[in-house]
């Protein structure tokens, strides 16, 4: 990431929820490398972290924050159960919602009780907020959708926005599909190709808005340090691709064939509602705010990104 002249570079104390997840781990490393102090917010009974920095106790049920949170300059909220880990039963859907919406509400309530509040809250959201939009180009000013993931994201962001009334700058980071060899969606995507049975999903015409984990960490660091970043922020590469093109590039990067398409009806049979929401939905998202800030992506091109990740 090229530093912006208006970026704050002084060491900061940064609180993070969800610090042990894919994004939290990468962000913690990036922030510590930049000289910041990272404090992970941990629930009662959580085992101590192994990473540098220290833990701050917090209880989402009561909104209580440990005294070690005093003096924090920024908060990054990455809490939320995995969307794709399990089939969406009614109980699972409730957990997906509560782990995002209720946790964010509790966090903002905890910040309200602080006498000296952080300057910025960067709160996770998702490009799924836009719903299934076909070939429409989507920016931060586009209207949200109305499906299950859209509704969760709208509630999620609504709770984060309440921090603005506390005088805190709020950034709503709308993540696309995050590509990393450490985990996440890519690990699931490459599995069929490893066995020679990979192929496009459904019609293959649906758009996939992606970003590498290194770029995610760089964008979040920018959102924390640069006071010009505010509001909704599409955390995606400037070059979305169709599923068919993604499949071809992934197959090429893995030196595997892409001959076995996964039909939509079979996916719906196996995954139910998840199939339409996660695999067949189309979001052609552009990072308009990042482009306005002249942010330089580390991996804007998918072919080069996959080559770097899978080397």
Q: Which of 101, 16, 109, 119 is closest to 64 using CA atoms?
A: 109
Give the three-class secondary structure for 80. Answer: coil
pLDDT at 11 over 90: yes
| H or E element, residue 199 | none
Best mean pLDDT range from 38-42, 142-146, 252-256: 142-146
User: Domains of the chain (ranges plus CATH)?
Assistant: 13-178+210-236+284-297 (3.40.50.720)
**Rounded to the nearest 5 degrees, what angle is found at the Cα of 97, between the Cα atoms of 114 and 115?**
5
Element (H, E) at 7: none
Are 15 and 75 in contact, with CB atoms under 8 Å apart?
Answer: yes
Residue 49 confidence class, pLDDT cut points 50, 70, 90? low
Q: Mind listing the pLDDT tens digit for each residue in 170-225?
A: 999 999 999 999 888 888 888 888 888 888 899 999 999 999 999 999 999 999 99
Q: Are 223 and 122 in contact (CB under 8 A)?
A: yes
User: pLDDT tens-digit profile of 105-136?
Assistant: 999 999 999 999 999 999 999 999 999 999 99
CA torsion 230-154-163-70 (nearest 10°) is: -100
| Best CA proximity match to 77, nearest among 7, 1, 145, 160 | 160
Q: What does pTM read for this prediction?
A: 0.92
Confidence (pLDDT) at 6: 42
3-state secondary structure of 284: strand
């Amino acid at each position: 990431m090229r530093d912006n002249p208006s970026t704050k570079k002084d060491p900061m104390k940064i609180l993070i929820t969800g610090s042990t997840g894919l994004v939290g781990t990468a962000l913690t490393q990036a922030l510590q490398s930049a000289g910041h102090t990272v404090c992970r917010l941990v629930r009662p009974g959580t085992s101590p972290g192994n990473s540098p920095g220290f833990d701050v106790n917090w209880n989402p049920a009561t909104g209580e924050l440990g005294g070690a949170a005093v003096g924090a300059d920024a908060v990054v909220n990455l809490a939320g159960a995995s969307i794709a880990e399990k089939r969406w039963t009614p109980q699972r859907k409730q957990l997906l919602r509560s782990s995002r919406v209720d946790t964010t509400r509790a966090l903002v309530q905890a910040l309200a009780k602080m006498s000296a509040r952080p300057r910025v809250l960067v709160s996770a959201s998702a490009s799924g907020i836009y719903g299934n939009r076909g070939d429409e180009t989507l920016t931060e000013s586009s209207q949200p959708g109305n499906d299950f993931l859209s509704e969760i994201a709208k509630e999620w962001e609504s709770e984060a926005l309440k921090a603005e009334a506390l005088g805190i700058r709020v950034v709503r980071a709308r993540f696309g599909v995050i590509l990393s060899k450490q985990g996440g969606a890519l690990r699931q995507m490459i599995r069929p190709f490893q066995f020679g049975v990979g192929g496009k999903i459904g019609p293959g015409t649906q758009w996939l808005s992606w970003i590498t984990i290194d770029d995610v960490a760089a964008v979040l660091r920018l959102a924390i340090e640069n006071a010009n970043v505010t509001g909704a922020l599409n955390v995606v590469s400037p070059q979305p691709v169709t599923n068919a093109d993604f499949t071809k590039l992934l197959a090429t990067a893995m030196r595997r064939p892409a001959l076995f398409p996964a039909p939509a009806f079979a996916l719906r049979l196996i995954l139910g509602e998840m199939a339409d929401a996660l695999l067949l939905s189309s979001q052609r998202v552009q990072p308009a705010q990042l482009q306005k800030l002249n942010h330089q992506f580390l991996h804007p091109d998918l072919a080069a990104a996959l080559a770097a990740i899978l080397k």
